[in-house]
Amino acid sequence: MSEEATVNSDKAPSHGPCFSQTQALIKKKNFEHIMENRRVVVTGIGAVSPLGNDAQLTWEGMKEGRSGIKLIASMDTAEFPVKIAGEVRDFDHTQYFSNPKDARRMDRYAHLSIAAAQMALTDSGLIEGDLDRDRVGVMLGSGIGGLGTLETNHRALLNRNPSRVSPFTIPMMISNIASGVFSMEHSFGGPNMAIVTACATANHSIGEAWRMIKFGDAEAFIAGGSEAAILPMGLAGFANMKALSTRNDDPTAASRPFDVGRDGFVMGEGAGVLVIEELEHAKKRGAPILAELTGYGLSADAYHLTSPHPEGLGAARCMEMALKHARLNPEDVQYVNAHGTSTPQGDICESKAIKKSFGNWAKEGLIVSSTKSMTGHLLGAAGGVEILACINAIRESVIPPTINLENQDPECDLDYCANTAREIEVKAALSNSFGFGGHNASLLVEKY
């Protein structure tokens, strides 16, 4: 047989274009069937925040309307125009590492991330009993990563000499290392990534983990985000952008989303992480099911480096996609945890986006609040902590307030649950996170 004949004989028989189209339709239907029948539930929550060093303390602080914003204690702010932030205080990261040496070789952002991830894992009971660890993924992101490590070693380089730069500088600094180390700690061999989309990082991490479970690429994920940027470089960078509140004389009142007196956001730090699982996987092991994650939306503003689209068009598309995935109508959602940063433009744009996405329901029945009024803006960790508020609003029928809302901006004309938590049945809640660069992410959770 000739070489040409050998090659031709290996080709599959041709059945014409109709056969190919039929095959494509069958594959599409099979794929849609898989996606529809793989439901994803939340089985564990972990958090470290300015309101407390675990998820329960954070939630209690939100319900109480308690501010975690104070004068900065971790650095000298004498030369800075901003002297306030939402810091994580009295936090002992060493208890979350089996090897103290590992802890010393990691940045604070990773300490916070791994602590929250370990709490979520313990809450879920995922590693108790039989578990195929190659079907468990980790998706722990950070908007900025190891800024503290970069600062320390840059000083060593400039003030001393190159040999004084730590050999661990790069692995300590990069944003994916928390995700990698956590998988090593627990031998989780499933998909492992770290998303960096500024303040949308945690929501994108949870959303993409949801998508991978829906695709069948994993049975469970530990997913969320962390940030530790209350440092000279971080504070100076945001302050010089004129993005931060300078209400230094009254820290607890500084973060005031939707209020006419807002003058910028307040920096925060922390971590928020979920354990999410395919429903049957969770049921088989008798896991606690806290809520069902049913919708995920993402979009780009494609507009400006730091400013949102003035009409909120990208944010609206993002929320609408989450509703579509969840197969919900606007009136099926009772609560939106807003991005609500307390910036003059951002709060107006998000309010417009909510009205565009939810139509008449935005004013007729939807309740919106910004828990950043209490925590400050946790940047890449924000969505991971704020989805906690959505899940617990469903579980306890309580919507946390927007504190410091004393004189509501007429251009922010929704019900923002001003100053006091509200008891109301919540069957579905949506969490928004929008980042510099025009990155938008919305997550939708429902009562299971």
Active site residues: 199, 339, 377
52, 61, 82, 81: which is closest to 267 by C-alpha? Answer: 82
- Kindly give the pairing relationship between strand 192-193 and strand 136-142: parallel
Helices (H), 327-447: 344-358, 361-364, 372-375, 382-396
Residue 335: partners with Cβ closer than 8 Å, 6 or more residues away: 366, 367, 368, 369, 390, 393, 399, 426, 428, 429, 430
**Residue 238 parent element (H or E):** helix 232-240
Cβ atoms 445, 291 nearer than 8 A: yes
Distance CA 64, CA 375 (A): 12
Distance CA 298, CA 178 (A): 24
Distance CA 266, CA 276 (A): 30
Distance CA 145, CA 31 (A): 36
